[in-house]
Amino acid sequence: MARKRDVYWLSDAEWEAIQPHLPSGRRGARRVDDRRVISGIMHMLRSGGRWKDCPVVYGPYTTIYNRWNRWSRQGVWERIFYALTGSSGVFTGSVDSTHIKAHRSAAGAKGGPCHHAIGTSRGGRTTKIHALSDDCGRPVAFVLTPGNAHDLAGAKALLAIRCPSHKLLADRAYDAASLRDWLAERGTEPVIPPNPTRKNPHAYDRDAYRGRNLIERMFCRLKDFRRIATRYDKRADIFLSAVCIAAAITWWTDN
């Protein structure tokens, strides 16, 4: 039996925030205690262990895994994330991406690795998480691409999820005329340092750019969840679900 301090339990505030967004009114046998099962899922995402090593205090590991897998396929975890973040107005947004190493157990999904956002480069097989954060550094949107894709490949898809912000902070990897023009059409001021190779570097708001470190801190905190810091899931939708539910509970259930 695991000790209480060794396991994760949803707090009252966390449970009250996500409970209204859980599936309800479905036919069949009564579901096992949702709070206990979701606490078990969060524990496994944080610990990075195998599902069959889930502590017995959460009940049978098959129940924990099956609920996680089924609701990932149904998009429940993503809906919870976007429901909690939907009321957030973003004045100054930040966009960035991070590479996630894909474990060998992540191989073998139907459709091939690229279909499930796994790419191969000199760093091995990786997935890239693209994120958009708000003024406080809280994530408000996520997109996955293969790790060898350029940052711009996921930028427009990511930014299209949310309403345009007044400013967008991004590093030099996003310094492309196509993106800058697209942002201008949306009424967003790009705060992007010029690439050193530019012959005529553009000006940008240096004071505003100092706030970009918030999204880097967000990625560091997100990677405290070991099943996010290393990808073990074969399918992209299941891995994205891990990112979304960890972000929802970590940043949005206290608001």
Q: What is the pLDDT of residues 45-73, one digit of tens each?
A: 999 999 999 999 999 999 999 999 999 99
Contact by Cβ (8 Å): 26, 226: no
pLDDT of 26 over the 70 cut: no
Mean pLDDT, the chain, integer: 90
Asked whether the predicted pLDDT for residue 27 surpasses 80, the reply is no
- Whether residue 1 is predicted with pLDDT greater than 80 in this model: the reply is no
Query: Rounded CA gap, 87 and 82, in Å?
Result: 9
Measured between alpha carbons, how far is 168 from 189 in angstroms, rounded to an integer? Answer: 6
Answer whether 183's CB lies under 8 Å from 191's CB: no
Please give the average per-residue pLDDT across 80-90, as a whole number. 81
Q: What is the pTM of this model?
A: 0.92
In the chain, % of residues over pLDDT 90: 75
